[in-house]
Amino acid sequence: MVTVHDVARVAGVSISTVSRALATPEKVADATRDRVQAAARELGYRPNRAAAVLRAGRSGAYGLVVPDLANPYFAAVAKGAQERARERGAGLFIVDTDEDPDLEAEAIGALAPQTDGVVLCSPRAPARALDALGGRPVVLINHDVDGVPAVEADHRGGMRRALEHLRALGHHRIAYVGGPEASWSDRRRRAGLADASARYDDVEIVALGAFRPQVEGGQAAADLVVASGATAVITFNDLVAVGLVDRLRARGLDVPDDLSVVGCDDSYVASLVTPPLTTLHVDLRRLGRLAVDRLVATVPGRGAGTGAGVAPDVPVLDVELVVRASTAPPAADRPEGAL
């Protein structure tokens, strides 16, 4: 293993100069810096992270906690976060908690001490999670706690867009198939929907809920939706929409002819299924990237530059409506044989 000593010997300087030339090049004479960097490159020197961590107290690695990596939503966020961490030369531990609050707390307890900070994506037990962190730097994705830095998507705006789209098509009774009880996103969506519907006295919302955020959740919800008399439905996420469509089909109902369906997230399954889903698009990769940026800015040691502390505002990513084939005017509005 090549150490600072080897580099120092080759470059003809002391080990402290090597350390400086590599970590803070501006504090070293140009000629020295070049010599050291050349030697390091030549020898294939790679700083030993463990030693640096031990000494400096910073690990250069972050954590990301997600409920389920197999969910395309979290996979996309993880991908973005990982990408950004790599660009910044940091490592990223990704932990999948399997939607289990106990595992979540445990994982955070294990992760926190060996990272410089953690991104918590859609925590299932936020209070315990923050507790397990013991005051270490953290950024929340899709959650909201007093003074904790966060990054979120504009769920309310998204819901308004979905509702206005359906209303424009002529729907007046719209069901919402909600996600997990503990989901903050779900609460925001319900609130957004309530707000938006309050602006139009010709639209009524039927909120259903607490369904699993997977295909099965949608299957379970379908019959309730049909019974509700709604002509259109908005679902917690795309997977739920897929399950819903599946069950409707099995009952001989057509989407969008008998019922219009709007998904959420625009994960790539939305465009894969039949019919392709009208859905709310969020740039999930960007969400992950932003969270890492924000986390890095929060961590004391390397405060990205300005050292101005962390801006207290929460970046909110736009949520856009993507119209595909799963929404159409309600059957009653259509002239025989049209669209």
Helix (H) or strand (E) holding 61: strand 61-66
Selection from a second copy, DNA, none that 93 binds (CB < 5 to 8 A by kind) is: a second copy
118-121 and 61-66 as β-strands: parallel, antiparallel, unpaired? parallel
Selection from DNA, a second copy, none that 96 binds (CB < 5 to 8 A by kind) is: a second copy
| Smallest separation, CB 12 to DNA (Å) | 7
Question: Between the CA of residue 207 and those of 41, 49, 105, what are the distances in Å?
Answer: 62, 51, 31
| Smallest separation, CB 3 to a second copy (Å) | 12
Among 5, 23, 102, 113, binds a second copy (CB under 8 A): 113
| Smallest separation, CB 95 to a second copy (Å) | 7
Residues in contact with DNA, total (CB under 7 A)? Answer: 30
Beta bridge partner(s), residue 121: 141
- Answer yes or no whether residue 79 interacts with a second copy by CB under 8 A: yes
Query: Is the CB of 7 or the CB of 78 nearer to a second copy?
Result: 78
Burial class of residue 139 in the structure, from the number of CB atoms within 10 Å of its CB (0-12 exposed, 13-18 middle, 19+ buried) = buried
Q: How far apart are CA 115 and CA 196, in angstroms?
A: 41
Question: Between the CA of residue 61 and those of 36, 37, 52, 118, 226, what are the distances in Å?
Answer: 26, 24, 12, 9, 49
φ, ψ for residue 325, nearest 5 deg: -95, 0
- Answer yes or no whether residue 78 interacts with a second copy by CB under 8 A: yes
| Interface pattern 187-226 for a second copy (x via CB under 8 A) | ----------------------------x-----------
Q: Which long-range contacts (CB under 8 A, 24 or more apart) does 271-274 make?
A: 271/324, 273/242, 273/245
Q: How far apart are CA 81 and CA 121, in angstroms?
A: 11
Among 21-29, 94-102, 138-146, 223-231, which window interacts with a second copy (CB under 8 A)?
A: 94-102
List interacting residues with DNA (CB under 7 A): 1, 3-5, 12-20, 22-23, 27-29, 31-33, 45-48, 51-52, 54-56
List interacting residues with a second copy (CB under 8 A): 46, 48-51, 53-54, 59, 61, 68-70, 72, 75-76, 78-79, 82-83, 86, 91-96, 98, 107, 109-111, 113-114, 215, 242, 268-269, 272-274
